[in-house]
Amino acid sequence: MNWWLVYQKEDIERNRGYIDMFFRSCGSRNISLELLETPEAFDRLNTQGSSLPSVVINRSRDLSLSRILEDKGVAVYNNSKITKLGNDKLAAIRFAEDLGIPVMKTAVDPADLDYPMIAKSISGHGGTEVFMLKSPSDLEELKQKDIYSLRKWIFQEVASDLGKDLRIYVIGKRIIGSMMRSSDTDFRSNYCLGGHASIHSLTDIEYSIAESIIKNLDIGHCGIDLIYHHGSPVFNEIEDAVGTRMLYRYTDIDAVEEYVKYIAG
């Protein structure tokens, strides 16, 4: 078997240890794995006579790449629907709403919400493109940033329980673990921004939300993030190329091994 592992160039070095895990796991199964940057993958697809892989693990978040591969009959993990939902926060919110899952009030026009509100780029990751807007002047300040004109944005009602969220890790139809993230100093609880993490046992409501999403999607490996409003869990987003640093630090779960085992069948 020949598999591709695709990353954006800028993400490769900081994920080198994680990438090495894929090579070890695939190697133990006699799977030939190639690491490709996104442009290289497109070049291969456009080269006449180039052989196609049997599997592509797409960690690039490139939706068009997933769709082209799928059109050619290649098995892509995650598939294009997960990549779309994981990189378009508005689409993910609407998906959850359609399933009857609670979400925070969300708008594309900030005039439709009262202050304070949260501004998020629809394609951002790691909390770096999330802003607390306490007043119209904060919105005007955001609009002056270069990033504002380069992204599409959503605006959301502020959840009452700030600095706390839950990441649920999923492979296939199975929840493999969940971690509660919190911050004492920031309304964002992202682990990569210095938030704390602890192993969490799902409540019945948290489990029900996750299972509703899992049942309605064909997931390879993703994260389902919940936030809390007056103590109750609320859907926040789906993470496509989900990071697993918390799992490796705080648990004995080998997410890469479980993922490769799932794909290989």
Topology adopted by domain 86-102+161-264: D-amino Acid Aminotransferase; Chain A, domain 1 (3.30.470)
**Token match 């900030």: residue?**
110
CATH placement of domain 2-77? 3.40.50
Domain ranges of the chain: 2-77, 86-102+161-264, 106-157
pLDDT at 191 over 90: no
Q: What 3-state DSSP class applies to 190?
A: coil
Write out pLDDT tens, residues 141-164: 999 999 999 999 999 999 999 989
- pLDDT at position 186 is 60
Whole-number pLDDT of residue 218:
98
Cα separation of 22 and 219, whole Å?
18
Architecture of domain 106-157: 2-Layer Sandwich (3.30)
Q: Is the pLDDT of residue 187 over 80?
A: no
The string of pLDDT tens digits covering residues 68-121 is 999 999 999 999 999 999 999 999 999 999 999 999 999 999 999 999 999 999
Q: Which amino acid is at 223?
A: G
- What is the model's pLDDT at position 133? 98
Q: How far apart are CA 131 and CA 142, in angstroms?
A: 8
